[in-house]
Chain A
């Protein structure tokens, strides 16, 4: 049986890095849009499109075999 493509256990910081960055950009976008017009609106829209773009990209890549060693860092189990 094929082993699932998995990494050595990652630190919590690493697991949550992407979701929390996307949350921060979304919140910044929402607030920028509310407090200004013009360039602020444009930046707000760009920041808010980010999570949608990330999802679309991952959807496009779904089913691809994951690299065994995405993480270069050695983490002790």
Chain B
């Protein structure tokens, strides 16, 4: 590699890292507690629900229609927007809003025990974990915030790749894992930064890239609704949206969908007019029956008025990729075993970012050529003069 090539890669590494570092540090620090959100919520109060024993709400329980009317009474009116099922306990949630296409801020979430019909209470987005999640997802800026963090993710991936390129000239005369502490603080820091980058490579690339995919979740869902979904319900083109007063039985719709696809478990229902359905259908999202396909949802569209199945089709590949990227980003698959690994990797990532930041802040000479010289020597300048 020529000095000139190294300099170009160094400048790419420097700027892609500098621009994204502070945001990445925020993402790591908020992501760390989010890894354990289930465990943390289980000990806080509205997590009491997850201790309920009984059959999974996705499988059986009281009629959905009765739970939904109860939620509408508890909300003091409005329309149902979503029903969410649990795969391992009787908890069922109903989201309500003033209108079918209500904004997220106008939605209310009520939680019930589907076995007994008892109310577990309204779930409010005001806990510390909700705050952290919002900060991590969009910094309270909505879609622009999500896309901005997605762009930071792209820069992070660029920083990882350019760092990998610079690893070659720096390590050319050093054995893997070289960590020299006797030369200078800067050389020790360079060695630590290189080693950390090398061992975290696979994980940071996967979590970085899946984070970027997740940042585009909303546009990808809109894309599905305006494309593949529209085709599935093309027979309804031009009809006025179904008013909530004409919504038929959700239980009848569920029975029709289950008859078409026996053996699959529902995860949630999107009501007509919302982001996850057409203007005339209950969209019942089923999860697959294998460990891999359990992360991929397939919608059954049932006419909300007549309760007849219109169509059931896989989501487009890009939406399936989005659904698969979620567990890979969150580390919430593979049981509790993966979570400590996610936490350890996040700590190592924080350390890469921090040592990188210090390497930039405590540089002795400001020129890029001095940095290139360090990379070529595989050591800090002052140590091997």
Q: Is the CB of B338 within 8 A of A48?
A: yes
Residue of A nearest to B334 (CB): A33
- For the complex, is B167 an interface residue (Cβ under 8 Å from A)? yes
Q: Is the CB of A10 within 8 A of B291?
A: no
Residue of A nearest to B378 (CB): A6
Type the 1/0 row for B181-218, where 1 means its CB is closer than 8 Å to any CB of A: 11100001001100110111111011000000000000
Residue of B nearest to A55 (CB): B199
Type the 1/0 row for A9-33, where 1 means its CB is closer than 8 Å to any CB of B: 1101001111100111111001001
Q: Is the CB of B181 within 8 A of A62?
A: yes
- For the complex, is B171 an interface residue (Cβ under 8 Å from A)? yes
Known: A24-B202, A44-B334. A15 touches B195 (CB 8 A): no
- Contact for A62 among B188, B344, B345, CB less than 8 A: B188
Task: List chain A residues, Cβ under 8 A from B335.
Answer: 41
Q: Is the CB of B174 within 8 A of A6?
A: yes
Interface-centre pick from B333, B345, B378 (highest chain A CB count, 10 A): B333
Q: Is the CB of A52 within 8 A of B188?
A: no
User: Nearest Cβ in chain B — how far from A24, in angstroms?
Assistant: 7
Residue of B nearest to A8 (CB): B173
Residue of A nearest to B327 (CB): A34
* Distance in angstroms between the alpha carbons of A71 and B334 in the assembled complex: 39
- For the complex, is B14 an interface residue (Cβ under 8 Å from A)? no
* Distance in angstroms between the alpha carbons of A7 and B170 in the assembled complex: 12
Known: A4-B183, A4-B379, A19-B198. A34 touches B292 (CB 8 A): yes
Task: List chain B residues, Cβ under 8 A from A41.
Answer: 334-335, 337-338
- For the complex, is B247 an interface residue (Cβ under 8 Å from A)? no
Q: Is the CB of A19 within 8 A of B201?
A: yes
Q: Is the CB of B383 within 8 A of A26?
A: no
Q: Is the CB of B201 within 8 A of A36?
A: no
Task: List chain B residues, Cβ under 8 A from A17.
Answer: 176
Task: List chain A residues, Cβ under 8 A from B34.
Answer: none
Interface size on A, residues (CB 8 A): 47
Q: Is the CB of A26 within 8 A of B203?
A: yes
- Contact for B345 among A19, A52, A67, CB less than 8 A: A52
Among residues 324 to 339 in chain B, which have CB atoms less than 8 Å away from a CB atom of chain A?
Answer: 324, 327-328, 333-335, 337-338
Task: List chain B residues, Cβ under 8 A from A45.
Answer: 334, 337-338, 341
* Distance in angstroms between the alpha carbons of A54 and B173 in the assembled complex: 20
- For the complex, is B151 an interface residue (Cβ under 8 Å from A)? no
Q: Is the CB of A16 within 8 A of B202?
A: no
Q: Is the CB of B175 within 8 A of A70?
A: yes
Q: Is the CB of B181 within 8 A of A18?
A: no
**What is the predominant secondary structure among interface residues of chain A facing chain B?**
helix
User: Nearest Cβ in chain A — how far from B295, in angstroms?
Assistant: 7
Task: List chain B residues, Cβ under 8 A from A5.
Answer: 180
Known: A36-B291, A49-B341, A66-B174. A4 touches B180 (CB 8 A): yes
- For the complex, is B177 an interface residue (Cβ under 8 Å from A)? yes
- For the complex, is B43 an interface residue (Cβ under 8 Å from A)? no
Q: Is the CB of A19 within 8 A of B173?
A: no
Task: List chain B residues, Cβ under 8 A from A22.
Answer: 198-199, 201-202
Among residues 41 to 58 in chain A, which have CB atoms less than 8 Å away from a CB atom of chain B?
Answer: 41-42, 44-45, 48-49, 51-52, 54-55, 57-58
Q: Is the CB of A23 within 8 A of B338?
A: no
- Contact for B168 among A16, A37, A59, A66, CB less than 8 A: A16
Q: Is the CB of A26 within 8 A of B202?
A: yes
Task: List chain B residues, Cβ under 8 A from A10.
Answer: 171-173
Q: Is the CB of A35 within 8 A of B292?
A: yes
- Contact for B167 among A19, A57, A62, A66, CB less than 8 A: A19
- Contact for A18 among B177, B191, B291, B292, CB less than 8 A: B177
User: Nearest Cβ in chain A — how far from B58, in angstroms?
Assistant: 18
- Contact for B200 among A4, A16, A40, A51, CB less than 8 A: A51
Give B contacts to A, CB under 8 Å: 164, 167-168, 171-183, 188, 191-192, 195-196, 198-203, 205-206, 290-292, 295, 324, 327-328, 333-335, 337-338, 341, 344-345, 348, 378-379, 383-384
27 contacts between A and B (CB under 8 A): A4-B180, A4-B183, A4-B379, A6-B173, A6-B174, A8-B173, A10-B173, A18-B198, A22-B202, A23-B201, A34-B295, A34-B324, A34-B334, A36-B292, A41-B335, A45-B334, A51-B200, A51-B202, A52-B348, A54-B199, A55-B199, A55-B348, A57-B177, A58-B177, A59-B179, A62-B191, A67-B175
